[in-house]
Amino acid sequence: MTAPATLTSPAFTHPSKYLIGYYGGWAAYSGDTPDKINASNINVINYAFAKIASDLKIAVGDSAVDYTNFTKLKSLKSKYIGLKTVISVGGWEDSGRFSDAALTETSRTVFADSVVSFLKTNGFDGVDIDWEYPTGYGLSTNVVRSADKQNFGLLLKALRSRLDAQGAKDGKHYILSFAGAANNTFAGGVGLSSIANYVDYGFIMTYDLHGRWDTYTDLNAPLYFPSGTSPQYKTSVDASVRMWLSNGFPANKIVMGVPFYGFAYSGVTAANGGLWQHYLTCVSVGFDKIMSNYLSNPAFKKSYSSSAMVPYLFNGSTFVTYDDENSIAQKTRYAMSKDLFGVGAWDLSYDRSSRLVNSIKSNLY
Return the active site residues: 132
Cα angle value 362/364/365 (rounded, 5°):
115
Q: CA-CA distances (angstroms) from residue 243 to 167, 204, 235, 330?
A: 33, 11, 11, 20
How far apart CA 261 and CA 220 sit, in angstroms, is 9
Phi, psi (degrees; rounded to nearest 5) at 56: 65, 25
Dihedral through CA 28, CA 30, CA 35, CA 37, nearest 10?
-110
Inter-residue contact 287 to 350 (CB < 8 Å): yes
Bridge partner list, 255: 203, 342
First-to-final CA distance of the chain:
50
Inter-residue contact 257 to 346 (CB < 8 Å): yes
One DSSP character per residue, 149-183 reads: HHHHHHHHHHHHHHHHHHHHHHTSPPEEEEEE-SS
Q: CA-CA distances (angstroms) from residue 3 to 6, 59, 172?
A: 9, 39, 23
